[in-house]
Structure 1
Amino acid sequence: MIVSHRHRFIFAAVPKTGTHSVRQALREQLGDEDVEQVGLFVDKRFPWQDLAAIRHGHLSLAQVRPYLGEEAFAGYFKFAFVRNPFDRFVSYCAFMLRGGDAFERRPREVMRHFLFEQPPEQHVLFQPQASLLAGEDGRILLTDAVGRVEDMQGSYDAICARIGIPSRPLDRVNSTTRDDYRRYYDPTLIEAVAARYAQDLDLFGYTFEGPQ
């Protein structure tokens, strides 16, 4: 997450949505008064002890809200990027088995393991995207802009224009190359992912085939 007091924005870094590319570009616009929490490639911590103790940068808007105060939280431009949950889940499985070829050799076995046998409920990368963007009542706190991974550059350009900062081409950071996510699925897996990430599909307008 990045909180820019200079430009009055909050970037909620939803995992597995190209956040490192966005962070890298945004850092070029940050001032000394701005703060970031991140734990990969760069190690930065928020100035608030409770949040700083969390060892990753994928904090929710609900977590940071009390530290900013209602006036700043309401007035700052809040944005995030989201991704088709079916594609994101494949990315998650491949990430968890990175460093070998186990996922490519038996992808559906791996996907079933995470969905049915040992779902890592508390792992922030596994949780629905909406969980980082909603309040305790389940209502989305992110009301300003939601970019899409499927149109990463176009979304970033539009967000920068609204914030009033210059855009630039996003770099590829921490990315991998795989086949189309749809080839990894069978009907049982489609149904299971659709059930687990039903809120994401509904809120952000995705189907198995892509954005609506």
Structure 2
Amino acid sequence: MSPTGPDAIPDAGLFRTRPGNRRRLTPAAEAELARLATAGERSGWLSPLAYNLTISHSHRFVWYRVAKVATRTIRHHCEAHGVALDVDHAMRVRYPLAAFADYLAFAFVRDPLDRFVSAWHDKVVDHNYYDFDPATHERMQTVEEFARWTAAQDLSAVPGTDQHLTLQSRMIDLNRVDFVGRLETFDRDFAEVCERIGAPAVPTRPQNQTAPGGRDRQASAELRELVARMYRRDYQVFGYEPPA
């Protein structure tokens, strides 16, 4: 049901994505967000920034999806074990903070160098995701060239920067998140998430790893320096050691 007064907490169960369109909220949910936005920024109903969200009402969690960090694995696990995703794959959504105050908010991150190399291999080498012209796409087959191109972007801008390259620290509401797991310790950390949300914890390996990680290959000094500079905030926030 909808709030009955200006101070009523929005009903979390109202927020769902559309059947057949897992990226779009239902009309009722969109209307409620519009109503909350109209109430003004001073109301504090909505998160100041927008995030890519997956939400389960039955298991009471909010997952801040960070692209290139086991998103397919987590989603597959939920589907395989009967965890309903009421907000499935919403993109760039400001959400009502109070409505989800008692939901577990979690996210997963990975070493920024590994994540960048994985994004380059998947989105440039294997596909022309960024629609480079043929000559540019040929140049971008060198990871350092792609890093130079990426360094010219504002990686904190959402929307504005592709989700596969955006700062991980920008894709998570750091003021609200309860648990941040790491891809490097995925089985252990995801098992903890499953225990906390009441879902089966089955050891699994992250799917769709498209390339050896940056630290498992001979990354050039230039690539390491560019990634360390581009993702300085991620290294600081999540405690990864910057590439030397």
Instruction: Decide which of 225, 229, 238 is 1:195's aligned counterpart.
Output: 229
Larger Rg: 2
Instruction: Say if 2:171 is the partner of 1:144.
Output: no
- Kindly report the root-mean-square deviation, in angstroms, between the aligned alpha carbons of the 2 structures: 2.9
1:174 — aligned with what? 208
Q: Post-superposition shift, 1:175?
A: 2.2
1:108·1:185 contact (CA, 8 Å) conserved in 2? no
1:94·1:103 contact (CA, 8 Å) conserved in 2? no
2:116 — aligned with what? 89
2:74 — aligned with what? 22
Given the superposition, is the C-alpha separation of residues 110 and 122 from structure 1 closer, same or farther in structure 2, using an over 3 Å criterion?
A: closer
The gaps in structure 2 that reach 5 residues or longer are: 1-52, 128-136
Given the superposition, is the C-alpha separation of residues 125 and 203 from structure 1 closer, same or farther in structure 2, using an over 3 Å criterion?
A: same
Per mean C-alpha deviation after superposition, the further-off stretch among 186-195 and 147-156 is 186-195
Q: Post-superposition shift, 1:119?
A: 7.1
Given the superposition, is the C-alpha separation of residues 13 and 157 from structure 1 closer, same or farther in structure 2, using an over 3 Å criterion?
A: same
In structure 1, distance between residues paired with 2:169 and 2:120: 19
1:82·1:129 contact (CA, 8 Å) conserved in 2? yes
Q: Post-superposition shift, 1:189?
A: 2.8
1:164 — aligned with what? 198
Given the superposition, is the C-alpha separation of residues 156 and 102 from structure 1 closer, same or farther in structure 2, using an over 3 Å criterion?
A: farther
1:77 — aligned with what? 104
Q: Post-superposition shift, 1:151?
A: 1.0
In structure 2, distance between residues paired with 1:82 and 1:179: 14
The gaps in structure 1 that reach 5 residues or longer are: 39-56, 135-139
In structure 2, distance between residues paired with 1:183 and 1:166: 35
Task: Provide the identity percentage.
Answer: 29
1:22·1:170 contact (CA, 8 Å) conserved in 2? no
Higher relative contact order (CA 8 A, sep 6+): 1
2:122·2:210 contact (CA, 8 Å) conserved in 1? no
> What's the TM-score, normalizing by structure 2?
0.63
3-state SS of paired residue (1:154): helix
Instruction: Say if 2:86 is the partner of 1:35.
Output: yes
1:16·1:92 contact (CA, 8 Å) conserved in 2? yes
2:113·2:214 contact (CA, 8 Å) conserved in 1? no
3-state SS of paired residue (1:17): coil
Instruction: Decide which of 129, 141, 152 is 2:168's aligned counterpart.
Output: 129
Would you tell me which structure has more helix in proportion to its own residues? Answer: 1
